Amino acid sequence: MRRIPLQQNGVLASRLILGCMAMGGERNIAPITMNDIKEARMIMNSALQIGINMFDHADIYKLGKAEQVFGSVLREIPSLRESIIIQSKCGIRPKEWTGLPFKRYDFAKEHILTSVDGILERLGIEYLDILLLHRPDPLMDPEEVAAAIQALKSSGKVRRFGVSNMSAGQIRLLQSYCDERFIVNQLEMSLQQIGWLEAGILVNHEAGKDLIFPEGTLEYCRLENIQLQAWGALAQGAYSGNAQRSEDHRVWKTAQYVRELSIQKETAAEAIVLAWLMKHPAGIQPIIGTSKPERIEACGQAIHISLTSDEWYGLYTSSRGGEVT
């Protein structure tokens, strides 16, 4: 299998990432429990058993409790730290932390630096392998962001940097001020959320005028060897068990095709959904956020599945609700 951009940039990451949003119990300020730690240990072990060595966090996941329970497991097995890749994100300030009646974004230098200190403390580690800027802050000063990145790199607290949910233009703006390369862009990408594909398919087409996904982002990341990471990669199970929750006939039809392919290839439906993303030549790295060991194992089968171009287009056409123009 061709190396993905992250591997080409010297980060020997697994093809799949485990998203840690589900860890930490309830989303509240109550202390973590032994049961929360036990569940995190089970989830981590399930991921490690199928070859996943990369774990995705954010400081706001369960209001910091996801990182806390993950750190508790690391303290139980100190040797594990050097064999895994830990990525976290900052830049969102939830109202529970600010006392404001609303959530906001914050790329101020002081907030980035303080956030990383908090992340490291909760995880109980000395450095992050990768830090992502979580959501674009419209008030960001690129010089401030660059200063924060330089300080984190110089101190050894963060080794590599990336972004999340950003367009090509936003990345270019930040990169023009930063000496450190951004090597990741994490976006919502799945068989259901296909704006990233439609932006290319509908160039010079009337139907493309209402697209939100910024044209050229996918191509820019490929040109700059930036790893595209797909959050929401399983579309919340829409095609692997939860189709009945949708009233969209496209979801039902696509879920049926996924099931047919999974039977033909003797694999799990989750593996088909992820293999569809991984077929794309950009080398997309799916993030799986499930907390169920059996679903993690099912997702792991994706690395052994190869879809034909006809099968890929069949799934795409079904999902979009019509053949390409």
pLDDT in tens, 203-212: 756 565 566 6
Alpha-carbon span 52 to 40, nearest angstrom: 15
For 73, the token pair is 């497991």
* CATH class of the domain whose range is 5-188: alpha beta
Inform me whether the pLDDT recorded for 68 exceeds 70: yes
Question: What is the Cα gyration radius of the chain?
Answer: 20
Question: What pLDDT digit, counting tens, does each position of 157-190 carry?
Answer: 999 999 999 999 999 999 999 999 999 999 999 9
Structural domain boundaries of the chain?
5-188
> pLDDT tens digit string along 73-102?
999 999 999 999 999 999 999 999 888 989
pLDDT value at position 208? 56
What number is the average pLDDT over the span 273-299?
Answer: 97
| Predicted confidence (pLDDT) per residue in 241-265, tens digit | 876 667 788 999 999 999 999 999 9
Nearest one of 87, 121, 91, 132 to 108, comparing CA atoms: 91
Instruction: Out of 61, 220, 239, 313, pick the active-site residue.
Output: 61
- Tokens (6 digits) for 64: 């910091």
**What does the alpha-carbon distance between residue 284 and residue 162 come to, in Å, rounded to a whole number?**
15
Residue 61: active-site member: yes
The percentage of residues in the chain with a pLDDT greater than 70, rounded to a whole number, is 96
β-bridge pairing 128-133 and 158-164? parallel
31 DSSP 8-state letter: P
